[in-house]
Amino acid sequence: MDKFKHQHFAMYKPDGYLSQFTNNDVSKNKKKLLGEFYAFPKNIMAIGRLDEPSEGLLLLTTNGRTSEFIRSRKIEKEYLAQIDGNITSNAIEMLKKGVEISVEGKKYLTNPCEVSKLNEHPVLPKRNKKIRDDRHGPTSWISITITEGKYRQVRKMTAAVGFPTLRLVRVRIGHIKLQNMIPGEVKKINL
């Protein structure tokens, strides 16, 4: 019997932080890491990642099997994306069907997914790094739910249909939601 009881956490990863705890890359010495927010257990790992400018729900665990299951294609990941321009219904349909992006230098067709345009800007906390304002042209918001998680996938998808992502917030992984968490907040959870 395993004496070690695994621990799981939900965190609101702020923009400007790497989804990691240690930094072995000398070129990234001044990067901000997740360990600044909480005294995590020694063998903690992020389940999937959010790139440095992205924010939102990040799950963490001490259990590699849990991590692998959640990263599998069975679990939905929902994002809110603020995009450059007023997205068209044609672009939304293209995203829903799947678009071609580059993954590790090779062409990749994304799986069909759920996409909808939001009628109003979502209420979200302020970012650490400001995004351009409306003086630089209109923006719009979409909700996009995917079951895969390629590197910078949502950003690549919206760019592929002509509407680059300006702000990306993961709001749900499976049944776990970001809800009213604030940037940097960490909660113990059961998985």
Q: Is 51 a catalytic residue?
A: yes
- Alpha-carbon distance values, 59 to 37, 119, 178 (Å): 14, 29, 10
**Which string of DSSP letters, residue by residue, matches 69-83?**
HHHSTTS-EEEEEEE
Radius of gyration of the chain (CA): 17
Half-sphere exposure of 28 (CA within 13 A, CB side): 14
In the set 2, 15, 51, 84, the catalytic residue is: 51
191/185 Cα distance (integer angstroms): 18
For the chain, how long is the longest CA-to-CA vector? 61
Q: Which residues form the catalytic set?
A: 51
